[in-house]
């Protein structure tokens, strides 16, 4: 079975998914791409030889030849397009988050359930080989019973203020990946969160109502303690690490580097800086997650990241924001 796709959104992440679907994922044909900036849709269509381009995503939803959509548009459009795609009978891959409120997410998921289509949320880091190996070590008991999980997630530089204002904030935009990773690795649900945060990188971020530096402690139902530290600016590059500590040992991941070379001189021993952008760091994970979605639709395999997996990290993010604002631990109710 060949799965026919329409890609909605021709920005940075839309280009990644379109390129993977056209060039690297099997049993797929991309028939159309849409973007509100029509020139972007046309350019991506031309470069990847996608037959159709449009400024109106509903042209994709109304196309009977298209079986599935990849929603890569602005976050505030995700829930609406999910609902419309479900009602049009399309299977759906959607970038995170579904929406900024639980009520809006629940409404979208209800529409998907009624329509009987598949929905996968784009938490790509689950598919990264490093995190997958940590998950294996925890699940298999290789490090004994898990006691502590520490996640480090620091960007090389903050996004533009124009993006900060519409992003939903650090917890919903950036740390949401780490909340998902905490659930994925612990295999449990958070019960309590306490987060301290501030503006250390750029005063303009604070003026926009957001924070750029945070440290979050979470209790999980299985007794594991999770700590997450986030920063919008690590001067040395994209810092993505995790350590899991258990009764029988520990496992930790390092950053990825452009090469494995070590330079030794009379003054120092050093290596080049780590990869500086998430598009480089997680390139394979974007491919693997899309392959998994296609196989779920065409081969009937279980969805690896469900709508509920998209819902719960939003609840965690909102609780973390509340904890920061009220300077107290907050119960997490999923």
Tell me the mean pLDDT per 10 residues along the chain, length 334: 96 95 96 97 98 98 98 96 98 97 98 98 96 98 98 96 94 97 98 98 97 98 98 95 98 93 95 81 91 97 97 98 98 95
- Note the CATH number of domain 126-276+312-331: 3.30.360.10
Residues of the chain with CATH 3.30.360.10: 126-276+312-331
Write out the chain in H/E/C secondary structure: CCEEEEEECCCHHHHHHHHHHHHCCCCEEEEEEECCCHHHHHHHHHHHCCCEEECCCHHHHCCCCCCEEEECCCHHHHHHHHHHHHHCCCEEEEECCCCCCHHHHHHHHHHHHHHCCCEEEECHHHHCHHHHHHHHHHHCCCCCCEEEEEEEEECCCCCCHHHHCCCCCHHHHCCHHHHHHHHHHHCCCEEEEEEEEECCCCHHHHHCCCCCEEEEEEEECCCCEEEEEEECCCCCCCEEEEEEEECCEEEECCCCCCCCCCEECCCCEECCCCCCCHHHHCHHHHHHHHHHHHHHHHHCCCCCCCHHHHHHHHHHHHHHHHHHHHCCCEECCC
CB-side neighbour CA atoms (13 Å) of 211: 18
pLDDT score for 282: 85
CA gap 255, 236 in Å, rounded: 11
pLDDT score for 322: 98
CA gap 227, 132 in Å, rounded: 19
pLDDT score for 134: 98
Residues of the chain with CATH 3.40.50.720: 3-117
pLDDT score for 328: 98
CA gap 3, 1 in Å, rounded: 6
CA gap 107, 35 in Å, rounded: 25
Residue 222 corresponds to which tokens in the numbers above?
């299985």
Beta-bridge partners for 263: 270
pLDDT score for 1: 81
CATH topology of domain 3-117: Rossmann fold (3.40.50)
* Cα 118 from chain centroid (whole Å): 18
């Amino acid at each position: 079975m060949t799965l026919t796709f329409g890609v909605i959104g021709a920005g940075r992440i839309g280009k990644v998914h379109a390129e993977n679907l056209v060039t690297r994922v099997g049993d797929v044909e991309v028939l159309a791409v849409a973007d509100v900036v029509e020139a972007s849709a046309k350019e991506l269509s031309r470069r990847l030889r996608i037959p159709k381009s449009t400024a109106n995503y509903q042209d994709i939803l109304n196309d009977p030849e298209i079986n599935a959509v990849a929603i890569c548009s602005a976050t505030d459009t995700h829930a609406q397009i999910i609902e419309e795609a479900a009602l049009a009978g399309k299977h759906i891959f959607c970038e995170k988050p579904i929406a900024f409120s639980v009520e809006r997410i629940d409404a979208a998921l209800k529409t998907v359930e009624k329509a009987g289509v598949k929905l996968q949320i784009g938490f790509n880091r689950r598919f990264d080989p490093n995190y997958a190996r940590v998950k294996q070590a925890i699940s298999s008991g290789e490090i004994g019973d898990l006691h502590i999980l520490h996640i480090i997630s620091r960007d090389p530089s903050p996004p533009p203020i124009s993006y900060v204002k519409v992003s939903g904030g650090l917890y919903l935009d950036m740390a949401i990946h780490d909340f998902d990773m905490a659930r994925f690795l612990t295999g449990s649900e958070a019960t309590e969160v306490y987060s301290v945060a501030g503006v250390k990188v750029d005063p303009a971020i604070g003026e926009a109502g957001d924070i750029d530096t945070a440290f979050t402690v979470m209790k999980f139902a299985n007794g594991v303690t999770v700590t997450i530290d986030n920063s919008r600016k690590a001067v040395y590059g994209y810092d993505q690490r995790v350590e899991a500590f258990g009764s029988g040992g520990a496992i930790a991941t390092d950053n990825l580097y452009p090469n494995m070379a070590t330079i030794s001189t009379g003054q120092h021993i050093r290596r080049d800086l780590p990869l500086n952008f998430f598009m480089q760091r997680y390139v394979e994970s974007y491919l693997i997650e899309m392959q998994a979605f296609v196989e779920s639709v065409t081969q009937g395999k279980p969805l690896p990241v469900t709508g509920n997996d998209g819902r719960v990290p939003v609840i965690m993010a909102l609780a973390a924001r509340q904890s920061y604002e009220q300077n107290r631990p907050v119960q997490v109710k999923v």
